[in-house]
Amino acid sequence: MLKILKYSFFDLIRSRWSIIYFFFYFVTGMVLLYLSNDVSKAVASLMNVTFILTPLIGTIFGVMNFYNSREFIELLLAQPVPRKNIFLGMFLGISTSLSLSLFLGMGLPFLIFGTFGSDQIMSLVFLLISGIFLTFIFTALAFYIALVNENRLKGFGLAILIWLFMAFIYDGVFLLLLIFLQEYPIEKFAIAMSLFNPVDLSRILIMLKLDISALMGYTGAVFNKFFGNNSGMLISIAALIIWSAVPVFLILKKSAKKDF
Which structural domain, as residue segments, surrounds residue 142?
2-257
Q: Identify the CA nearest to 109 among candidates 236, 9, 22.
A: 22
Give the tens place of pLDDT for each residue, 112-144. Answer: 887 666 667 788 888 899 999 999 999 999 999
With bands split at pLDDT 50, 70 and 90, how would you rate the model's confidence at 77? confident
Mean pLDDT of 23-27: 94
With bands split at pLDDT 50, 70 and 90, how would you rate the model's confidence at 258? confident
Q: According to the model, what pLDDT value does residue 102 have?
A: 94
For the chain, what is the domain count?
A: 1
**Are the C-beta atoms of 231 and 257 separated by less than 8 Å?**
no
d(CA 106, CA 109): 6
Give the tens place of pLDDT for each residue, 162-184. Answer: 999 998 898 888 878 877 877 77
d(CA 219, CA 235): 14
**Are the C-beta atoms of 195 and 223 separated by less than 8 Å?**
no
Give the tens place of pLDDT for each residue, 54-65. Answer: 999 999 999 998
CA distances for 143 relative to 39, 58, 178, 190, 245, angstroms: 35, 9, 33, 29, 13
pLDDT above 60 (res 218):
no
Q: According to the model, what pLDDT value does residue 94 have?
A: 92
